[in-house]
Structure 1
Amino acid sequence: MKIIYLHHSGFVVELDKNTLVFDAITYIQPQYLKKGRRKYFFASHAHTDHFSQIIYNYGTDFDTRYILSDDITRRGGKKTTFIKPYEHLHYDDIKCGPVEIDTFGSTDQGVSFLVQAEGKVIFHAGDLNWWDWSPEARPEIDRAAEERDFKAEIAKIKEFLETNHRKINVAFVPVDSRLGRSATKAAEYFVDELHPQILAPMHCWDEYSVITDLQQACYGKDVKILTMSKRNEIIYAD
């Protein structure tokens, strides 16, 4: 498995036979979209820092599929499936094997994705985050409700994983520097409750120093926190 950081919340996950692309809003270098592989493009919601029409530029290959949150403007033809929270998709390909997709909710807009393919379980949170804004920055926010809603969604994911005897191999979770001291709260809680093997921080707005804060907060926990320092870099390869 190879993970390429694109920008913000955008990542490419290259498995042996399938390529998964999440929330891409920038140009993707051709070497990360190899021909002859099944390619799945995911977009968690319509916000411009998560969805761009640019992903349709990569749809000429017959092996391309788009799985988009249903709040996104509908286009894309037969290759596109629009999906709501708590739905399931199953793709089965003779050459590349089955891909199972389950969606969960968000604490902002759209969906989060749990993808099972080639023996791996991959979670992309979209804007599912513990939006613990300071009262000074966002006085209109109900901080207690934000905490409650985030933890409730994590509980649903946890129940699904336990029921289906699954463990998350890689999770992409927001670590938003605009939240100040609360930037790492969601990722810390995610690690404590769902125990992913690998966590890739995202939604950092190119403020990569917040990743160090998360690594320090998770020191001693059984999780590998990935790091990145620039766009379009390989951040993990096994």
Structure 2
Amino acid sequence: MKIYHLHHSGFLIQFDDKTLIFDCFTHIPNSLLRKNIPHYFFVTHGHGDHYSTDIFTTDRVYHPTFILSDDIPKVSTHHTHTIAPYQHLSLGGMDIRTFGTTDQGLSFYIATNQHRIFHAGDLNWWDWDTQLKPQIDTDQEEKDFKAELEKIKGLPMEFAFIPVDPRLGDSFYKAGQYFIETFHPKVMIPMHFRDDFDIIKRFKDKIGNTKTIIPEFTARNEKIVNTWSEEE
């Protein structure tokens, strides 16, 4: 299993028999795509920092299949599955479950190749500074985030991709910290920070000691390597 950070909330996960691609809206280097291996594109919602119709131009030699949140209009003649929150799909040796969000679309939980993967999409504790967004009810944002996670409890968490959005100022760490304290994933991979890679270290410093591995990476399209992954 190899994990590559594409950009923002975009990640590519390679297994021997398949590749999973999440929330990609930027160009994927050809070196990360493998001919004659199925590639599954997961899109949590239609925001422009999570989705681009460019994914549908993926060459058919990569056997692309698309699993899209139902807020996205169907614009492809490729193999496409549209799915809503709280649904289940068996596909390509994957057990796919969807959950809700605190923004638009959904989140994905996938069991495949003896691994468990959760991609939160925009499921986040949106604790905005009310001076910047006075319309935000911060108490309600906290309740909504925690209520959504209650629906996921009981599922084993191995790899979790969770937002650590620097726009939230001093509250950027809250979702990630709460997720770790609630689910104790083996690995939590920060996302949704554009190119502010320094926030990963700030997040680790903020939450302190934890058994959960939080890998640091510093560039787009970088392979995320740690004690849990295979280095070549």
Band the TM-score falls in, shorter-chain normalisation: over 0.9
2:81 pairs with 1:81: yes
Number of the residue aligned with 2:158: 169
1:139-218 → structure 2 map (5 Å cutoff): 139-159=134-154, 161=155, 167-218=156-207
SS in 2 for 1:214: helix
Residue type at the aligned position of 1:21: I
Residue type at the aligned position of 2:20: L
Runs of 4+ in structure 1 over 3 Å off: none
Number of the residue aligned with 1:123: 118
What TM-score do the two structures reach when normalised by structure 2? Answer: 0.94
- Deviation of the 1:63 alpha carbon: 2.8
SS in 2 for 1:179: helix
Alpha-carbon distance in structure 1 between the residues aligned to 2:152 and 2:218: 30
Q: Is the 8 A contact 2:166 2:193 kept in 1?
A: yes
SS in 2 for 1:227: coil
In the superposition, relative to structure 1, how do residues 126 and 60 fare at CA in structure 2: closer, same or farther (>3 Å)?
same
SS in 2 for 1:116: strand
SS in 1 for 2:36: coil
SS in 2 for 1:158: coil
Number of the residue aligned with 1:95: none
How many residues matched?
A: 227
Alpha-carbon distance in structure 2 between the residues aligned to 1:2 and 1:8: 18
Alpha-carbon distance in structure 2 between the residues aligned to 1:33 and 1:129: 30
Residue type at the aligned position of 1:207: D
Q: Is the 8 A contact 2:23 2:51 kept in 1?
A: yes
SS in 1 for 2:28: coil
Query: Which ranges of structure 1 fall in alignment gaps of 5 or more residues?
Result: 93-97, 162-166
Number of the residue aligned with 2:132: 137
Q: Is the 8 A contact 1:177 1:205 kept in 2?
A: no
Alpha-carbon distance in structure 2 between the residues aligned to 1:85 and 1:138: 27
Alpha-carbon distance in structure 2 between the residues aligned to 1:61 and 1:75: 20
Among candidates 108, 116, 140, match of residue 113 of structure 1: 108
* % identity of equivalent residues: 44
Number of the residue aligned with 2:24: 24
Q: Is the 8 A contact 1:45 1:110 kept in 2?
A: yes
SS in 2 for 1:134: coil
- Deviation of the 1:105 alpha carbon: 0.3
Alpha-carbon distance in structure 1 between the residues aligned to 2:7 and 2:15: 20
Q: Is the 8 A contact 2:36 2:62 kept in 1?
A: no
SS in 1 for 2:135: coil
What TM-score do the two structures reach when normalised by structure 1? Answer: 0.92
Please report the RMSD computed on the Cα atoms of aligned residues, expressed in angstroms.
1.3
SS in 2 for 1:204: coil
Alpha-carbon distance in structure 2 between the residues aligned to 1:117 and 1:76: 25
- Deviation of the 1:107 alpha carbon: 0.1
Q: Which deviations, in whole Å up to 9, do the C-alpha atoms of 1:79-104 show, x marking residues without a partner?
A: 00111000000014xxxxx1111000
Query: Which ranges of structure 2 fall in alignment gaps of 5 or more residues?
Result: none
Q: Which deviations, in whole Å up to 9, do the C-alpha atoms of 1:102-158 show, x marking residues without a partner?
A: 000010000000011100111110000000001111110011110000001111111
- Deviation of the 1:78 alpha carbon: 5.2
Residue type at the aligned position of 2:79: K
Residue type at the aligned position of 1:67: I
